């Protein structure tokens, strides 16, 4: 049944625990997909070790070695075209992608964010939530568009903020939900069950 499987590529910049959750879900046949590449901008990312262990090809496009963001993005774009995935998954990929890249893969890029969007976009979402004093936060999986963490929302999980929580304790609790929510959203994509209708995602 391999012929039915989608090709997914993961972009990650750091420890890659969400990447690992995707690797495990594919291995356990929960997601009908093959992970065809890990693309990283950081040669020291622990995600690279995870990819190697799982036998996933790694492409390092080291941001620091490029003279400008434009040149970096051109290299990233051609790597992605070569990889030719059905879905590009941003799993802790810490760079904002330019419009050119986003437009090249409409409806084919997904991100996970550790807050209930549209609240607390950008960096340190868990810290923003604690500082704001919200009682509920969580995580969001969304398609990527040209806005910052603003694309159509696929799935969200709520997580209660407890008294005494700090950024780290909340992040740890949210992360457990990320590891469920992200593979679930990818699974829905791979089963062709997601329709983007305006800024809404309908799940069939
Ligand atoms: C996660 O909290 C994710 O939501 C955010 O970056 C973090 C990446 O963690 N975008 P990991 O590298 O997947 O462990």
Alpha carbon of 79 to ligand 1 centroid (Å): 22
Query: Ligand 1, residues 21, 24, 112: which to mutate, most atoms within 8 A of Cβ?
Result: 112
| From 113, 142, 157, 177, active-site residue | 113
> What stretches in the chain show pLDDT beneath 70?
1-3
Alpha carbon of 173 to ligand 1 centroid (Å): 12
Rounded Cα–Cα distance for residues 98 and 69 (Å): 9
Q: Are 37 and 10 in contact (CB under 8 A)?
A: yes
Torsion angle of the four alpha carbons 146, 150, 156, 160, in this order, in degrees rounded to the nearest 10: 140
pTM of the model: 0.96
Give catalytic status of residue 132 as yes or no. Answer: no
Ligand 1 within 6 A of CB of 17: yes
Ligand 1 within 6 A of CB of 138: no
Alpha carbon of 18 to ligand 1 centroid (Å): 6
Ligand 1 within 6 A of CB of 15: yes
Pairing state of beta strands 109-113 and 136-143? antiparallel
pLDDT score recorded for residue 96:
87
Q: Are 155 and 185 in contact (CB under 8 A)?
A: yes
């Amino acid at each position: 049944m391999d012929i039915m499987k989608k090709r997914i590529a993961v972009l990650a910049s750091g420890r890659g625990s969400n990447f690992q959750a995707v690797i495990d879900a594919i291995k356990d046949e929960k997601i009908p997909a093959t992970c065809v590449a890990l693309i990283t901008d950081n040669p020291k990312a622990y995600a690279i070790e995870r990819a190697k262990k799982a036998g996933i090809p790694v492409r390092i496009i080291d941001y620091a070695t490029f003279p400008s963001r434009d040149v970096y993005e051109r290299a990233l774009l051609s790597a992605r075209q070569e990889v030719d995935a059905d879905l590009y998954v941003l799993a802790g990929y810490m760079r904002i992608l330019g419009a050119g890249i986003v437009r090249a893969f409409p409806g084919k890029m997904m991100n996970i964010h550790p807050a209930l969007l549209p609240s607390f976009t950008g960096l340190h979402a868990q810290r923003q939530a604690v500082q704001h004093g919200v009682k509920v936060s969580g995580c969001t999986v969304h398609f990527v568009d040209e806005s910052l963490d603003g694309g159509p929302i696929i799935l969200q999980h709520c997580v209660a903020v407890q008294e005494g929580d700090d950024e780290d304790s909340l992040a740890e609790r949210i992360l457990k939900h990320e590891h469920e929510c992200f593979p679930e959203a990818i699974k829905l994509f791979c089963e062709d069950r997601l329709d983007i209708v305006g800024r809404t995602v309908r799940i069939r």
